[in-house]
């Protein structure tokens, strides 16, 4: 018997690579060797690529015995050659004399092989086969969930039932796509996903196939990018079972989507929902979800329905708060004619588009508890007098708290509130000392010449003390009025020396003579002849 290899259970050459990390690929690259995952011509040689470079270099011609030749096949390297493992006992008997096989335990000549559960020398009892056909009609133009492959699944096989223009896709439960995601179609090839290798193939004309040996290291969601109707998806995988916790045969149960429930809306784009339910494969009965455990429950299917716009209708807002906190008030709300479009957008329409007779009220009375009685005070009056100690007043009345009604003061007194003061002492400012206040001067006593003027003089005292008499301003003063020419002549026209013959001068007509005009001015003027004009002559005889 040959020595058992160190890397039997390791993925590709991870442990073997570490053995040669100390060696240098290039002179300027010291470590970080990466094993190529490509299927090279020498699958049992250690072929590496230095980080930062795009070419391979063969480090060792023979990897350690027991290393897998390929990540997705059970073939094993022995002495630098890729050995085919035993598939069944017939193969072992038929070809044993030609070359030696390698058992699943890593020994040459061993006849041990993996069962359908991928257990070496197992009896197929540690797993169950889960299979089904997903043929539910789904809307086109979107990714739709088909089935969830649970963690630990082996011998995974997903395939389209017939040729179509649809595409299989694969993602994790956090919506990270590995194959055919983001509306991008990948070329058929191998993909390293969830600790295993998935083979993506297009069999026949274009029917898609996904295969993996497993086991998967995480839950995976199989999706379908629908470009036409669903023609059916066949799926099958083997899942390990825990006999201590599972008392039923999980291969007899599977997840199935229910018929579509009624649309959630009659208009404006509702949703049709198809719920995932656990069913018995033999009769299609719906059973408790625990029977499908540990198969992950797939997501519910949804599609849009009733995408037409809704007819206009009254949209009613919430009532606003009452206009008062007590007593009778009014509250309002917004009522508008609104039409909801197929895309869910709400558009306000003219009220004539809605039925007027059915318009809900926009206002209503609101009656709360009776408002309590409180003292209500008005503004203080000005302080009187304007200086020195004084008093100011205000009105104090009993009213309801909303200031709507006057009440009897007894109601406020019964409430226990103390009535606020209606009077209050005050000092506006300090009063000035007693002082004389003078009025305006009156008119001159004469209109021409010298006369007198008078004015009022009063003592102003806020404290009652008398004013100083020595400082009293005069109440009378002399005045001089300007005279007109005529008034000036009359004031200077008089009889000189009170002569007694002036009347005779007037009677005998001598007033026209300048001498007598000067000596008897007043008599000649009053007699009818002005000083500038001669009086009428009186002729003798």
Bridge partner list, 315: 336
pLDDT by residue (tens digit) across 243-273? 555 556 777 788 888 888 899 888 888 888 9
Q: Which residues contact 74 (CB under 8 A, 6 or more apart)?
A: 68, 85, 104, 114, 213
**In this model, does residue 386 exceed pLDDT 60?**
yes
**In this model, does residue 31 exceed pLDDT 80?**
no
Specify the DSSP element, H or E, that contains 454.
Answer: strand 449-454
Return the structure tokens found at 448: 């021409």
Contact between 217 and 197 (Cβ < 8 Å): no
Q: What is the pLDDT of residue 113?
A: 85
Contact between 43 and 80 (Cβ < 8 Å): no
Specify the DSSP element, H or E, that contains 507.
Answer: helix 502-507
Q: What is the pLDDT of residue 180?
A: 93
Contact between 149 and 272 (Cβ < 8 Å): no
Q: What is the pLDDT of residue 20?
A: 43
CA distance 293 to 203: 32
pLDDT by residue (tens digit) across 441-469? 999 888 877 888 999 999 988 777 888 88
CA distance 264 to 303: 11
Contact between 446 and 482 (Cβ < 8 Å): no
pLDDT by residue (tens digit) across 464-510? 788 888 889 999 998 888 876 655 556 567 777 666 778 888 888 88
Which CATH number is 127-240 given?
2.60.120.830
The residue ranges of every structural domain in the chain are 1-97, 127-240, 250-305, 313-350+362-368, 373-428
Task: Compute, in degrees rounded to 10, the torsion defined by CA atoms 228, 232, 234, 239.
Answer: 90
Q: State how far Cα 55 lies from the chain centre.
A: 53
Average pLDDT, the chain: 79
Contact between 70 and 37 (Cβ < 8 Å): no
């Amino acid at each position: 018997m040959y020595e058992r290899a160190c890397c039997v259970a390791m993925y590709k050459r991870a442990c073997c690579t570490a053995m040669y990390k100390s060696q240098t690929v290039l002179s300027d690259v010291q470590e970080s060797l990466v094993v190529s995952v490509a299927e090279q011509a020498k699958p049992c040689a250690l072929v590496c690529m230095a980080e930062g470079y795009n070419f391979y270099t063969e480090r060792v011609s023979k990897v350690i015995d027991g290393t897998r030749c390929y990540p997705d096949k059970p073939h094993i390297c022995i002495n630098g050659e890729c050995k085919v493992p035993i598939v069944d006992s017939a193969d072992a008997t038929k070809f044993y004399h030609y070359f030696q096989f390698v058992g699943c335990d890593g020994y040459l000549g061993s006849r041990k092989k993996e069962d359908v559960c991928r257990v070496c020398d197992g009896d197929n009892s540690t797993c169950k086969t889960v299979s089904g056909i997903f043929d539910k009609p789904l809307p086109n133009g979107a990714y739709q969930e088909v089935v969830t492959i649970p963690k630990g699944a082996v011998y995974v096989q997903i395939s389209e039932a017939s040729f179509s223009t649809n595409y299989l896709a694969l993602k994790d439960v956090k919506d990270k796509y590995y194959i055919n995601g983001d509306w991008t179609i990948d070329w058929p090839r191998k993909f390293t996903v969830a600790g295993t290798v998935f083979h993506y193939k297009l069999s026949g004309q274009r029917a898609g196939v996904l295969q993996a040996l497993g086991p998967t290291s995480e839950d995976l969601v199989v999706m379908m990018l629908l470009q036409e109707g669903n023609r059916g998806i066949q799926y099958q995988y083997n899942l390990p079972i825990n006999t201590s916790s599972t008392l039923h045969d999980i291969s007899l149960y599977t997840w199935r989507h229910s018929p579509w429930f009624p649309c959630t809306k009659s208009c404006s784009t509702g949703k049709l929902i198809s719920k995932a339910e656990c069913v018995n494969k033999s009769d299609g009965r719906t059973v408790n979800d625990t029977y499908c455990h540990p198969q992950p429950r797939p997501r519910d299917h949804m599609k849009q329905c009733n995408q037409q716009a809704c007819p206009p209708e009254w949209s009613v807002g919430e009532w606003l708060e009452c206009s008062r906190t007590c007593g009778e008030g009014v509250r309002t709300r917004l009522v508008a004619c609104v039409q909801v479009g197929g895309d869910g957008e709400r558009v306000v329409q003219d009220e004539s588009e809605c039925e007027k007779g059915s318009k809900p009220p926009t206002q209503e009375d609101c009656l709360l508890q009776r408002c309590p009685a409180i003292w209500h005070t008005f503004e203080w009056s000005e302080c009187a007098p304007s200086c020195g100690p004084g008093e100011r007043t205000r009105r104090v009345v009993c009213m309801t708290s909303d200031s709507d009604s006057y009440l009897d003061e007894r109601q406020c007194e019964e409430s226990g509130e103390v009535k606020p003061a209606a009077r209050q002492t005050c000092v506006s400012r300090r009063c000035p000392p007693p002082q004389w206040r003078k009025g305006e001067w009156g008119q001159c006593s004469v209109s021409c010449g010298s006369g007198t003027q008078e004015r009022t003089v009063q003592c102003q005292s806020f404290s009652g003390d008398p004013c100083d008499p020595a400082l009293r301003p005069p109440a009378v003063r002399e005045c001089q009025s300007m005279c007109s020419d005529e008034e000036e002549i009359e004031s200077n026209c008089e009889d000189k020396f009170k002569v007694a013959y002036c009347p005779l001068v007037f009677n005998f007509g001598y007033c026209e003579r300048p001498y007598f005009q000067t000596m008897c001015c007043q008599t000649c003027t009053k007699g009818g002849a002005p000083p500038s004009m001669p009086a009428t002559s009186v002729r003798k005889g």
